[in-house]
Chains A and B, each alone.
Chain A
């Protein structure tokens, strides 16, 4: 264990800049005038509270690449956000928008001079249940949004990032959830929007583009002519590098009537759930006889447009759900063998009788018929929801090892996600176990999206965080080197074999765009970025400041990793011929 002085010495080696950076008084005073003194501070104790959140903290915070912001400001209105952004431009201060602070890019990284724009006070949440859309502010989280949906006899996804994730932020990117099976990806559900550009202009899109926006419904997403929402949203998106979306309207979906009394919270922590008080909502687990049968049944069910969600569950997720604590997990998991993993194929399907009992009966009958064809065996499934409707236990995934990373995530065709998951699982088991947690070749989490039009794959690796922490007695730089090698050398190779487009390297580093497959795309994203953010103040370096990132990459990132990322070629598509 390092003493404070040893830690400071170590951090002086790792940190490229001094930890604290004091912003100019003039800029601070102007911001204070814009929002009022209660909503801004540059006290160090507040700034420190915003350091090192969410994913990848072991790579960014522990390695000295996360800095406190130079101030924290909590605007309450779009106009206040725009004012702050304009002041940032005036003084060339980079800004970093955040709400849940759950993403890689929602905290200052790599530089200490960023203004933290904390959007959590923006809590607009209005439903129009008759017209199936809702207006949502940038501070609203999924858990609250989902309950609001139930209160209005609607339902909505809960994202893979968890209930604490921000609804607006997730709609600027893919916003993945098993419930996307029926609803499609989040960025495609965006309607009208209020967007503060990187230079501080307020742009309103869709129905809100009219002069009197307060009179407009927000029902439409497209404006006249081109849809400007396309500038800031995307599968990968800009992660705060194209200004700030402060509010939007999103599509919501009708549910079983009297929804709030159908999905009833029960239990005492930690064993709580939404009890299904209607037979028109049910999860059903099936064990399939083979990996191939699992893949085929997901394909066929999707084509039959049956179900409301369909997801393959990694075995250890089930053990996490059963484990009383970390030690219990390891006791249970230590009895698992590669054979167990190879021979266990479970698919979890959500059925909803949206309209009546007959719809439920029909869906179940079709499902049973298809399952019978592939030899699927229904297993006892609780009449409740522990995760995905309102609660999503993403935080619980930290329980086993206190750290994990999604090394791959993306949306491709069903076959591509199957194959990519299999190769990743195999390679991880053969060459990287240890140092990573033994997953015995499990092919990760994948699900059907858009009734099988596409599929989502997320492959997680679980690491011993203490080995990444310079303050821990277990600290091992070679461990971090293995992680880097896995993320930046191995996974791109596998992607190249299957044609899988991995979101994470692109969203985190921008470097992927420099590969030969993206040369023209990069030119045009460069032009957009230069045009809208000439001073590069909108959340640098995410996701698109490759030169800056290349310069500022943590010292442990090997040169060969950089070269690999620059040279990788995308593999051949696995779409069915």
Chain B
């Protein structure tokens, strides 16, 4: 059987029938399993909904039923199960701890199939995608205001090897993060430029299965980036970073290595700058913090490697030619931690679920927009878990999770007082 790593749901029928329900997608890596069941789940959707249709292993059976005709795409619970998924990839990494089923691609392809059959995305997703098409940004703001975050103290080059892809959130809503990112580069002597007119990376389009629209966004942004001649694209938004580095090549059927430029998150760049002595931690910050591994910078950030070949049913279902798997192993986990540990006075403590096994913070997949109760549930859980460490602050490399976690603070009301974007913390401590 031919098999291509794309968004055609029928390509994942093998996955749908091979899953035996080991719960790797539910509880993740058993080596890291905690005793407390509340913090044992790695799938926030499943934990919220409890029944197995809300988790990846149940979804394999739904997909099988769709593909063999036992259920129909119009089933409201299948639609809901698909679009309540954050796409955080915890299930995928959990599965690949032992097996190599392409669970995340399967889930994503289900969303695409539902869109293709006319049963998705959810109405609010359609509204936002229209807004992106009309205005070029997620929030429907005036694109002319995109660079208003640039204050007088920030130096932006007209032409440089480094392009700062700011993202909608940091451009319009949480401008402090964009400013902190820019200041770090200024301090380290890294010249950077901005796009003349940046447009939304299309994160919501991809994560809600709107593949054709996302391809359009990918082509547009890649052209804009290439036109600048940039050698490195720096993102402060983990989702922009993942989309440019991983999802654009994925949907355009190319490898990350063939993009023609390097994509770095500010955590990676800053860590390198610190290790090269370009910036140094000077301010003492006496506090205990915990670090939230955003999925887009962690387990989902490995370079994309396209693959097409045969799965030989006669020969133990082996893939021919052999392929390289993305299992979350080489995500960006240590650079942010090294930066935090480098700050005098700060104590970094780990939550029970971290690195590849981290729990989601409720911001992705269009879930917050369509099913806010599930998103809030996930964010609350993460803040609760952070509180158990005794930390007073959470540091995250993701602007969106900074938002969802910050919103959860008053709801949970524990010892967590503040959520930092990593760039803000580094900007404050490093000179």
Contacts and interface: CB of A to CB of B under 8 A. Distances in A.
A312 interface: no
Contacts of A474: 313-314
Contacts of A163: 27, 30, 33
B22 interface: yes
Contacts of A266: 31
A474 B17 CA distance: 14
Interface string B1-28: 1000000000001000110111110110
Contacts of A273: 31
Given A54-B21, A151-B35, A269-B96, A45 B69 contact: no
B37 A402 contact: no
A140 interface: yes
Interface string B90-103: 00011011111000
Given A44-B71, A269-B93, A466-B317, A53 B21 contact: yes
A100 B23 contact: yes
Contacts of A144: 27, 33-37, 40
B37, B52, B93 pick with most chain A CB within 10 angstroms = B52
A143 B27 contact: yes
Given A144-B34, A390-B33, A469 B17 contact: yes
A65 interface: no
Contact of A147 (B34, B53, B327): B34
Nearest to B320: A327
A290 interface: no
Contacts of A146: 33
Interface in A354-398: 390-396, 398
Contacts of B59: 49
Given A100-B23, A164-B23, A396-B98, A123 B37 contact: yes
Interface stretch (B74-82, B132-140, B193-201, B378-386): B74-82
Contact of A143 (B30, B36, B61, B318): B30
A399 B35 contact: no
Given A48-B61, A164-B22, A390-B33, A399 B98 contact: yes
Contact of A46 (B18, B67, B70, B77): B77
Given A53-B20, A396-B99, A474-B313, A274 B31 contact: yes
A19 interface: yes
A2 to B, nearest CB: 8
Given A395-B24, A400-B316, A4 B37 contact: no
A74 interface: yes
A556 B319 CA distance: 30
Given A45-B77, A49-B62, A472 B33 contact: no
B329 interface: yes
B363 interface: no
A24 interface: no
A102 interface: yes
B69 A4 contact: yes
Contacts of A120: 50
Nearest to A466: B313
B322 interface: yes
Given A269-B356, A471-B13, A393 B37 contact: no
Given A45-B75, A327-B319, A268 B33 contact: no
A471 B100 CA distance: 21
B424 to A, nearest CB: 26
B13, B30, B316, B319 pick with most chain A CB within 10 angstroms = B30
B58 interface: yes
A55 B331 CA distance: 33
A101 interface: yes
B146 interface: no
Contacts of B144: none
A4 B63 CA distance: 12
A7 B27 contact: no
Nearest to B39: A144
B333 interface: yes
B349 interface: no
Contacts of B40: 144
A7 B69 contact: yes
Give the bracket for the number of chain B residues in contact with chain A.
Answer: 35 or more
B27 A330 contact: no
Contacts of B98: 270, 393, 395-396, 398-399
A125 interface: yes
A476 to B, nearest CB: 10
Interface string B369-413: 000000000000000000000000000000000000000000000
Interface in A261-313: 265-274
B52 A395 contact: no
B328 A268 contact: yes
A49 B54 CA distance: 9
A401 B357 CA distance: 26
B21 A102 contact: yes
A14 interface: no
A163 B28 CA distance: 11
Nearest to B100: A325
A400 B316 CA distance: 7
Contacts of B32: 265, 272
B1 A268 contact: no
A125 B37 contact: yes
A269 B35 contact: no
Nearest to A53: B21
A20 to B, nearest CB: 8
Interface in A143-166: 143-148, 151, 162-164
A394 B81 CA distance: 28
Given A8-B68, A144-B40, A399-B100, A45 B327 contact: no
B29 interface: yes
Contacts of A92: none
Contacts of A196: none
Contact of A1 (B1, B31, B99): B1
A52 interface: yes
A268, A327, A399 pick with most chain B CB within 10 angstroms = A268
A386 to B, nearest CB: 8
A25 interface: no
Contacts of B99: 395-396, 398-399
B61 to A, nearest CB: 5
B104 interface: no
B17 A471 contact: yes
A328 B319 CA distance: 11
A55 B81 CA distance: 26
A268 B78 contact: no
Contacts of B70: 19, 48
Given A8-B68, A41-B51, A391-B31, A52 B316 contact: no
A551 B30 CA distance: 41
A212 interface: no
Contacts of B357: 269
B97 A269 contact: yes
A141 B23 contact: yes
Contacts of B29: 269, 272, 391
A57 interface: yes
B65 interface: yes
Contacts of A139: 37
Interface in B316-347: 316-319, 322, 325, 327-329, 331, 333
B245 interface: no
B355 interface: yes
A45 B62 contact: yes
A143 B30 CA distance: 6
Contacts of B57: 49, 53
Contact of B67 (A4, A74, A164): A4
Given A44-B75, A45-B62, 11 more contacts: A48-B58, A49-B59, A52-B61, A72-B51, A102-B21, A139-B37, A268-B331, A393-B98, A395-B99, A402-B18, A466-B313
Can you list the 4 inter-chain pairs with the closest CB atoms, starting with the nearest?
A: A49-B58, A148-B35, A4-B69, A395-B22
8 contacts: A43-B77, A125-B35, A267-B31, A268-B355, A268-B356, A269-B97, A269-B355, A395-B20
